[in-house]
């Protein structure tokens, strides 16, 4: 019996809550989790959590948005009820795939027109107008004086990080506060930065952005002809996708969470999006154990990463077990934006007459692993396993696996697998409840959890 510890399970994964509570020797806390008929989430914590150390468990699969909302409300409810500390335990962190560049279903880069490529090529990090220097200062003061300085300050503020990053990503910069001008320009065939609108724009930010082009233009053309051409906002509207990962990280913190425990984040750098501690447990130990104990003659097998993004994860296992490694390079340039099937796959390494073991962090549509398996069999692999930490397996993923060249798919129950297991004879599920229970116990007692990163 652990005192002061409360485990509260969301509706995403009751079985995992139960397993964790069994390991900890405590019953799950009572809460009412329901929905109003309109669809809004309703949460009532039915026991006192005042002064308690509360762990809220929710996973990222299934109805991910509902579960996220429910978790946020649960955190807020516990905080309001004076919980001493609230830790969210998210075995699969929702939205963590949308942490960096705007996520696109095809995995293909967002539209990058020739004009934009040119814009990027021409872009320099020199501030424009230039930082004044002796001899030149008079000229600019003389004519533009105070106004010029304002422009320069505004430039540093509005044009610094956001736009440089956007240019790197090949995306037309756009800010929230330019929305008004976007709306008004919709009628003009999406001519977002159209010159005709330049002077009519009322949004301060878009005025600044446009102003940079014109003001800097005056200066660089008349005075410094050796300078690169001025920044010219591009004509036409480019799609923009929100960086939802950042928002979700903010929401979790803002709801009142003090600590996050998760596993195999798609991008480990996502931890840096939080101002609160994030413990990112590894699922690779479970996968490695499976290889050692469940795959016959594993020493003769080869570990394969189905895409370059996961190579580090897969090599870590290959190195630990002293096994050979191969890589599938996913060429992400499908001819049509919706046509992922066209992305070609290329194998680097030898799998002929061997057992191939695919390692990845997650399988969602399972396109990646099924297509990789097809390629591996074509290249002579005898048996193909796929070992993935998070079996999201949405849509028709199970049907796809059943019909694929994969011989076995091994996932953890970071996402509930009860239904999937029934439908998929190739599926094997590894239990993560004990790992999370141990992490919770250690965090509660203020013990180090680094042992969970290194255990054998």
Ligand X SMILES: O=P(O)(O)OC[C@H]1O[C@H](OP(=O)(O)OP(=O)(O)O)[C@H](O)[C@@H]1O
Closest approach of ligand X to the CB of residue 433, in Å: 23
Smallest gap from residue 82 Cβ to ligand X (A)? 40
Nearer to ligand X by Cβ, of 43 and 108: the residue is 108
Tokens representing 55? 């762990």
Strands 5-9 and 53-57, by their bridges, are parallel
Closer of 136 and 315 to ligand X (Cβ): 315
Q: Closer to ligand X at the Cβ: 279 or 361? A: 361
Output the smallest distance, CB 408 to ligand X, in A.
16
Closest approach of ligand X to the CB of residue 340, in Å: 8
Residue whose CB is less far from ligand X, 253 or 365: 365
- Cβ count near 219 (within 10 Å): 21
Q: Contact positions toward ligand X, by CB under 6 A?
A: 97, 107, 266, 306-307, 309-310, 360-368
Nearest alpha carbon to residue 346 among 314, 378, 388: 378
Closest approach of ligand X to the CB of residue 364, in Å: 3
Nearer to ligand X, 128 or 340 (CB): 340
Q: Would you say 52 or 330 has its CB closer to ligand X?
A: 330
Residue with smaller CB distance to ligand X, 174 or 266: 266
Distance CA 129, CA 131 (A): 7
Q: Which is nearer to ligand X, 97 or 288 (CB)?
A: 97
Q: Would you say 109 or 236 has its CB closer to ligand X?
A: 109
Q: Minimum distance between the CB of residue 107 and ligand X, rounded to whole angstroms? A: 5
Count of all residues that appear for the chain in the document: 456
CB of 42 to ligand X, least distance (A): 32
Closest separation in Å from C-beta 238 to ligand X: 21
Roughly what angle, to the nearest 10 degrees, separates helices 311-321 and 284-294?
40
Q: State the pairing for strand pair 355-363/85-90.
A: unpaired
Shortest separation between residue 296's beta carbon and ligand X, angstroms: 26
Residue 308 vs 352, nearer CB to ligand X? 308
Q: What is the 3-state secondary structure (H, E, C) of the chain?
A: CCCCEEEEECCCCHHHHHHHHHHHCCCCCCEEEEECCCCCEEEEECCCCCCCEEEEECCCCCCHHHHHHHHHHHHHHHHHCCCCEEEEEECCCCCHHHCCCCCCCCCCCCCCCHHHHHHHHHCCCCCCCCCCCCCCHHHHHHHCHHHHHHHHHHHHHHHCHHHHHHHHHCCCCCCHHHHHHHHHHHCCCCCCCCHHHHCCCCCHHHHHHHHHHHHHHHHHHHCCCCCCCCCCCCCCCCCCCCCHHHHHHHHHHHHCCCEEEEECCCCHHHHHHCCCCEEEECCHHHHHHHHHHHCCCHHHCEEEECCHHHHHHHHHHHHHHCCCEEEEEECCCCCCCCCHHHCCEEEECCCCCCEEEEEEEEECCCHHHHHHHHHHHHCCCCEEEEEEEEECCCCCHHHHHHCCCCCEEEEEECCCCHHHHHHCCCEEEECCHHHHHHHHHHHHHCCCCCHHHHCC
Cα 77 from chain centre: 26
Report the nearest approach of ligand X to the CB of residue 434 (Å).
25
- The residue with its CB nearest to ligand X is 309
In the bound complex, what is the minimum distance in angstroms from residue 306's beta carbon to ligand X? 6
User: Looking at beta carbons only, is 128 or 313 nearer to ligand X?
Assistant: 313
Output 43 or 372, the one with its CB closest to ligand X.
372
The Cα–Cα gap between 362 and 59 comes to 13
The least CB distance from residue 262 to ligand X, in Å, is: 15
What's the distance, CA 81 to chain centroid? 31
């Amino acid at each position: 019996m652990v005192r002061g510890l409360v485990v509260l399970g969301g509706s995403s994964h009751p079985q995992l809550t139960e397993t964790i509570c069994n390991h900890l020797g405590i019953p799950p806390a009572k809460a009412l989790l329901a929905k109003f008929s309109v669809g809004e989430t309703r949460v009532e914590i039915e026991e006192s959590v005042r002064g308690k150390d509360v762990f809220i468990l929710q996973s990222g699969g299934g109805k991910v948005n509902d579960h996220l909302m429910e978790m946020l409300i649960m955190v807020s409810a516990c905080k309001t009820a004076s919980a001493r500390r609230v830790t969210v335990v998210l075995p699969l962190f929702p939205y963590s795939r949308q942490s960096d560049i705007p996520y696109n279903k095809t995995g293909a880069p967002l539209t990058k027109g020739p004009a934009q490529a040119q814009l990027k090529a021409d872009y320099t990090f020199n501030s424009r107008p230039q930082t004044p220097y002796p001899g030149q200062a008079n000229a600019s003061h003389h004519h533009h004086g105070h106004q010029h300085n304002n422009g320069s300050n505004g430039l540093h503020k509005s044009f610094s990080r956001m736009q440089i990053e956007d240019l790197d990503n090949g995306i037309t910069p756009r800010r929230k506060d330019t929305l008004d001008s976007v709306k008004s320009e919709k009628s003009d065939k999406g001519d977002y930065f159209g010159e005709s609108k330049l002077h009519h724009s009322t949004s301060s930010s878009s005025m600044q952005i446009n102003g940079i082009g014109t003001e800097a233009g005056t200066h660089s053309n008349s005075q410094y002809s050796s300078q690169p051409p001025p920044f010219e906002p591009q004509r036409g509207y480019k799609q923009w996708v929100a960086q939802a990962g950042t928002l979700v990280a903010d929401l979790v913190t803002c709801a009142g969470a003090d600590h996050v425990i998760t596993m195999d984040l798609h991008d480990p750098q996502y931890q840096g999006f939080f101002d609160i501690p994030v413990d990112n447990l590894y699922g690779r130990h479970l996968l490695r154990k499976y290889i050692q104990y469940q795959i016959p003659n594993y020493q003769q097998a080869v570990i394969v990463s189905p895409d370059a993004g996961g190579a580090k994860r897969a090599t870590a296992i290959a190195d630990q077990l002293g096994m050979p490694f191969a890589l599938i390079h996913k060429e992400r340039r499908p001819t049509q934006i919706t046509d992922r099937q066209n992305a070609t796959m290329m194998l680097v390494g030898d799998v002929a007459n061997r057992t191939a073991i695919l390692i990845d962090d997650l399988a969602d549509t399972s396109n990646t692993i099924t297509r990789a398996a097809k390629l591996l069999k074509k290249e002579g692999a005898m048996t193909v396993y796929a070992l993935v930490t998070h079996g999201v397996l949405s849509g028709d993923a199970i049907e796809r696996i059943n019909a694929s060249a994969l011989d076995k798919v091994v996932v953890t129950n970071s996402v509930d697998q009860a239904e999937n297991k029934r439908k998929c004879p190739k599926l094997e599920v590894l239990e993560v409840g004990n790992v999370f229970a141990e992490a919770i116990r250690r965090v509660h007692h203020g013990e180090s959890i680094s042992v969970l990163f290194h255990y054998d």
